[in-house]
A and B are shown apart, each in its own frame.
Chain A
Amino acid sequence: MPFSHCRGVKSLTSRKRKRVLLAKPMLDGHDRGIKLVAKGLKNAGVEVIYLGLLQTPEEIVEAAIQEDVDVIGLGTSMGIHKTVFSDTIDQLRTKDCGKIKVIGGGSIPQRDVHALKEMGVDEIFGPGSPIGDIVNYVLVLP
């Protein structure tokens, strides 16, 4: 059953379905949130590739390129978000794939959001963010 907040979002029929790659980088095992995000996106018609746990930034970016995704979504709750995102973005730039959007969630405090965005992260959805916000973010991307 789709989440109530996913109803009424923009229809997808007019354009290509969005593809999102989700992953838990490094050794972090807290996957309660990311699985909910995956389900919310899927219910809204987004194609979701969930890589699972223990992914390195190299593996994530490689998979994102192979799968030709629009967005990479990383969940991190271990306090190493700055390392994780800067490594991922570096990898994307090296591979000349800067057009892929990078979003993040997990235990990321508000005070770090600015620094992460400066680094090139497109959006951060901190603790308690409604899944509908993430779905809408993905759906309205050009």
Chain B
Amino acid sequence: MVAEKEKKGNEKVVAWRYREKRPLEFNTESGIGVKELYCPEDMSDFKYERDLNCSGEFPYTRGIHDNMYRGRIWTRRVFVGLSSPFETNERFKYLIERGESGLILIPDVPTQMGIDPDHPRAREETGVTGTPLYAMKCMEEAFEGISLDSVSVDLRGESPFVAASFFAQFVANAEERGDDIAKLRGSLINDNIHQNLSFGWGFTCPMKPNMRLCVDIIEFCVKHVPKWHPFSLAGYDVSETGANAIQEVAFNFGAAIAYVEAAMERGLDYGDFGHRIAFSMSTSINFFETIAKVRAARRVWARIAKNRFGATKPEACQLICSVKTAGSSLTEQQPINNIVRNAIEALAGVLGGTQSLDVCGYDEALALPSEEAAAVALNTQHIIAYETGAADTVDPLGGSYYVEWLTNKIEEGVNEYLEKIDEMGGMLVAEEKGWLRKEIQEEVIRKHKEVEEKKRIVVGVNDFIIPKDQEIPLPIKMADKEEQEKASKKIVAAVRRLRETRDHEKVKEALKGIHSKLEKDENMIRPMVEAFKVNATMGEILGVIREFYGYNYDPFDVIANPFV
């Protein structure tokens, strides 16, 4: 594609002449060849009841609820992870006032690794790209003045190890506030395989305690927090790491199968928790492939639940889906264009029939979303919900020759991958072998090559480039080094103060309680909740668990267990 400014003589600019060289072949982002035109023949083997059925009917291709958004608009979220729980609380309230129905809390990186802010390796990154959540008081500050039964809260804990800690903090705070935990609504990213795959932090959270805690969370929720989604698979992260649409769904399901089987081994009945599994997915800029992906995912999962886990209840076959627009599709160049990208991706999520939607800030290629960017992200959802009419009828693209064909193609691809994973011995083996990583890496290289060779145009990056000074300026709140250092020092001081002022004996007792539950092989969530209530920190609680399993108290092995 070449847009060229042509000059006649030296003085007059004549016109933009658009000399299009369209490619001979077209592919979706994951490389599925796209035909020029789709006709009834492309759906020749199509059986309505078997492949689509009405919304709310097996295999749920058209949506899990019969009336979909006519009953209720999807949960509208915008992620928040500011440098302190206090600021995060202010942003939550700002967004709730603007019509947000679900909160997302992103922890900072040290928290995601399970280390406290005063850890020597944590200091520089404390509060930088998320909120530090090391003790119950962080949750107390983050949710102060917010009615917890009125919003659903997505805690992005990543690995079960850390997720269990968040969840216990959250529950501890709710109980201390006097909230009924049976009424808590929300979800928890609780997925070690994907965290390992996306961030390479496997060493901080060994697999064995992870699988145990993952099942502990499920068990605890089934019994005590029935409205919570105890495990949400982090397909989004894998997609951002570079997985294509087919891989994203397949790896999500591969991991879900591993966790479900672990829970069933514990003696849990799939029928009791199957309806609480949630899948996080990315909505890429490749519009129709995203829509087809979400639709295909529901169909594949319904069949897995029925055939593999023997689910009989309809709810246990329904895939609950939460999507986020793709951060990796956003560009640093001409950031105003990101508003458009986000809107298109959000619409794809809605047309795919998601239950919850998180839209990126236009500034997310460079910074944490500013207040303005978060408001635009939320309004994007309101506009889709109330202005476009996309929410007025169920699965508006159902029956489109192209969309149905593409849905079938994705389903085929996902099933092929799942067979391969099964042959290999399951997702844990595939991950250990490095096979998943290799598959994704090949995809990253392929995609990158397409962009560098201009087979895929990214506006402002490899075509339609304009000089930096001609870009439309947008307010982007960049992290400031001095401010950051100040904020992080404050947090480190707060955690030290907490350690000094709390009842040391009670903490010691609570940590002993955790140890004894570990020995007895009992559910860990309740003792973790109790430990948080007496102001134990996340690093301490996870340290005790690590030690029990034969690992160092500290994943970096620079601090020793102070309680021995």
Contacts and interface: CB of A to CB of B under 8 A. Distances in A.
Contact of A80 (B113, B124, B368): B124
A4 B333 contact: no
Interface in A106-138: 107, 109-112, 126-128, 130-132
B331 interface: yes
Interface in A54-96: 56, 78-80, 82-83
B448 interface: yes
Interface in B441-459: 441, 444-445, 448-449, 452-453, 458
B452 A128 contact: no
A99 B125 CA distance: 29
Contacts of A5: 452
A110 B467 CA distance: 12
A132 B452 contact: yes
Contact of B109 (A28, A109, A130, A132): A28
Interface of A: 3-5, 26-29, 31-32, 35-36, 39, 52-53, 56, 78-80, 82-83, 107, 109-112, 126-128, 130-132
B478 A111 contact: yes
B367 interface: yes
Contact of B242 (A32, A109, A112): A32
A131 B124 contact: no
Contacts of A27: 109-110, 113, 121-122, 125
Given A80-B128, A83-B481, A107-B332, A32 B444 contact: yes
Interface in B364-405: 365-368
Contacts of B122: 27
Nearest to A24: B200
A26 B124 contact: yes
10 contacts: A4-B452, A28-B109, A28-B125, A29-B109, A78-B109, A78-B128, A80-B484, A109-B478, A112-B478, A128-B458
Interface of B: 109-110, 113, 121-122, 124-125, 128-129, 198-201, 240-242, 328, 331-333, 365-368, 441, 444-445, 448-449, 452-453, 458, 461-462, 468, 476, 478-479, 481, 484
Nearest to A31: B200
B128 A127 contact: no
Given A27-B121, A39-B445, A107-B365, A79 B128 contact: yes
A3 B332 CA distance: 23
A131 B452 contact: yes
Contacts of A110: 332, 468
Given A82-B481, A110-B468, A127 B331 contact: yes
Contact of A3 (B365, B452, B476): B452
B198 A29 contact: yes
B129 A35 contact: no
A107 B128 CA distance: 13
A128 B461 contact: yes
B333 A128 contact: yes
Contacts of B201: 29, 53
Contact of A78 (B125, B240, B481): B125
A83 B124 contact: yes
A66 B153 CA distance: 49
B98 to A, nearest CB: 25
Given A27-B110, A83-B481, A128 B331 contact: yes
Identify which of A31, A39, A56, A79 gathers the most chain B CB atoms within 10 Å of its CB. Answer: A79
B507 to A, nearest CB: 26
B125 A80 contact: yes
A127 B444 contact: no
Given A27-B110, A27-B121, A83-B124, A3 B449 contact: yes
Contact of A29 (B200, B458, B478): B200
A73 B122 CA distance: 22
A4 B458 contact: no
Contacts of B445: 36, 39
Nearest to B335: A109
A71 B441 CA distance: 25
B125 A26 contact: yes
Nearest to B129: A78
Contacts of B198: 29
Given A27-B109, A80-B484, A109-B366, A36 B128 contact: no
A68 B198 CA distance: 31
Nearest to B240: A32
Given A29-B200, A79-B128, A130-B462, 13 more contacts: A4-B452, A26-B121, A27-B125, A28-B125, A32-B328, A36-B445, A53-B201, A78-B109, A79-B129, A79-B368, A79-B478, A128-B331, A132-B452
A78 to B, nearest CB: 5
Contacts of A28: 109, 125
B332 A126 contact: yes
Contacts of A132: 452
A131 B468 CA distance: 20
Contact of B453 (A4, A52, A111): A4
Nearest to A127: B332
A128 B458 CA distance: 10
A121 to B, nearest CB: 14
B468 to A, nearest CB: 6
A89 B441 CA distance: 31
B446 to A, nearest CB: 11
B460 to A, nearest CB: 8
B205 to A, nearest CB: 13
B542 to A, nearest CB: 16
